[in-house]
Amino acid sequence: MDHPDIELSSYSGIKSDYTLSKYSTFSFPEPDHLKPVHYPQCSCKASQKTFSKKKLNSSSYNPDIVDSCPFAKQWTQHLNMPENGKELYTTLIQISLETPSLNSSVRQIELDANRTFPENEYFTGGDGKVVLKRLLTAFSKYNQTIGYVQGMNFIAATLLWHSNEIDAFWLFVGLTEDYDLRESFLTGFPGLAKHCHILDFLMIEQLPNLYSHFVQNGVSVQMFATDWCFTLFTSLVPIEESHWIFGKFFELKWTFFYKLVIEILDRLQEKLLSCDDVVNILTPLKPYQSSPKNWRLFVKTLQKGKEKLNWQKLAKAAEKREIDEKGVNTLLNEAYNRSSHNDTGEEYFNKPV
């Protein structure tokens, strides 16, 4: 049977790498292969509380059977979501595509799905792992230039926590394209290099003593900010509180990311200045490598005085922080000009601030 070309770049602002039928053959699996149906797991007020479990056992695949939560709905307002998003996503799931790059992505997705929020039952023993793998595989088909890169799993899982599967997929696509997250996942990680360079600039401006202390002890920004950049803090923030961070990021883009990093460093500055080697300096900044308990309690280590801090309050404090946005925009424009002839991050990592 002949199938017409399906051009996925019909989503405004998104440039898909290819027309799918040039590389693939269609395979329409049995409905059971497209189960389980995902519904948001958050405790936000949402219509998913009213749908019947009977619908989840339907033989037809309805990935948008329930609404995304109010927070996720707000995030979609910052993007030009495709009108035919459900059809495009369903097509991606059903397409059988065999390429070396996709096969490599699928293998890595399988490994990382087991490491995504290991304390969360939905993503370890529940249906969430299946849905997460399905979404990430669909994205790997959608954009083969990027494929799958570690870190995507935490972002996608966080979006799924608040969104139905259709919204989660297109929110993720929007982050990679409209919010330039794509640059962080390209070969050479030019986005990571750019963001670390800007953080160097902001540390020199706002935290000069801490920056000098880092330099003297051989600590670079990428040693602690890489995970934050690749996962948009989702590897650090408990998934139940992640909407406070995502809400500000969708609103303010990378400016909020820079503000949040500086806010965290400022609050930890006294402790970090008392540390005199790389390991002791990095330990407070990477609690998830120490223990789940320390990861959960990280935000409490940022409290000042009798302050009772949570991620919502921290996000608000970061938003209010003043930074040299003109200087940041100059560096971003410089990065854009460089990217037109150099897609790697090497030039940035070796560039003096």
pLDDT digits (tens, 9 = 90+) for 223-264: 999 999 999 999 889 899 999 999 999 999 999 999 999 999
Higher pLDDT, 282 or 347: 282
Q: Kindly indicate the confidence band of residue 98, based on its pLDDT and cuts at 50, 70 and 90.
A: confident
E runs forming strands in the chain: 24-26, 95-97
Report whether 120 contacts 163 (CB < 8 A).
no
Q: Kindly indicate the confidence band of residue 326, based on its pLDDT and cuts at 50, 70 and 90.
A: confident
Question: Residues 135-186: pLDDT tens digits?
Answer: 999 999 999 999 999 999 999 999 999 999 999 999 999 999 999 999 999 9
Report DSSP state, residue 285. G
Question: Residues 280-296: pLDDT tens digits?
Answer: 999 999 876 545 566 67
> Which stretch of 40-49, 150-159, 186-195 has the lowest confidence by average pLDDT?
40-49
Residue 318 has pLDDT above 50, yes or no: yes
Residue 61 has pLDDT above 70, yes or no: no
Report DSSP state, residue 217. T
Q: Which residues contact 188 (CB under 8 A, 6 or more apart)?
A: 343, 344, 345, 346
Residue 30 has pLDDT above 80, yes or no: no
CA 61/CA 105 separation, integer angstroms: 24
Q: Comparing C-alpha atoms, which of 179, 165, 4, 154 is closest to residue 86?
A: 165
Residue 127 has pLDDT above 50, yes or no: yes
What's the token pair of residue 344? Answer: 């790697």
Report DSSP state, residue 65. S
Q: What are phi and psi of 100, to 5 degrees?
A: -60, -40
Q: Residue ranges per domain, the chain?
A: 8-178, 188-349
What's the token pair of residue 112? Answer: 């990382």
Q: What mean pLDDT is reported for the chain?
A: 82
Q: Kindly indicate the confidence band of residue 342, based on its pLDDT and cuts at 50, 70 and 90.
A: low
- Any idea which residue has 């399988």 for tokens? 110
pLDDT in the model for residue 201: 94
Q: Kindly indicate the confidence band of residue 325, based on its pLDDT and cuts at 50, 70 and 90.
A: confident
Segment 91-102 shows an average pLDDT of: 85
3 state DSSP class of 7: strand
Alpha carbon of 150 to those of 49, 74, 136, 320: distances in Å?
32, 27, 11, 31
Assigned CATH for 8-178 = 1.10.8.270
Count Cα neighbours of 201 within 13 Å in the Cβ-side half-sphere: 22
The fold of 188-349 is Cyclin A; domain 1 (1.10.472)
CA 288/CA 264 separation, integer angstroms: 15
Residue 197 has pLDDT above 90, yes or no: yes
Phi-psi region of 282 (alpha: psi -120 to 50; beta: other; left: phi over 0): alpha
CA triple 37-154-31, angle to 5 deg: 20
Q: Kindly indicate the confidence band of residue 331, based on its pLDDT and cuts at 50, 70 and 90.
A: confident
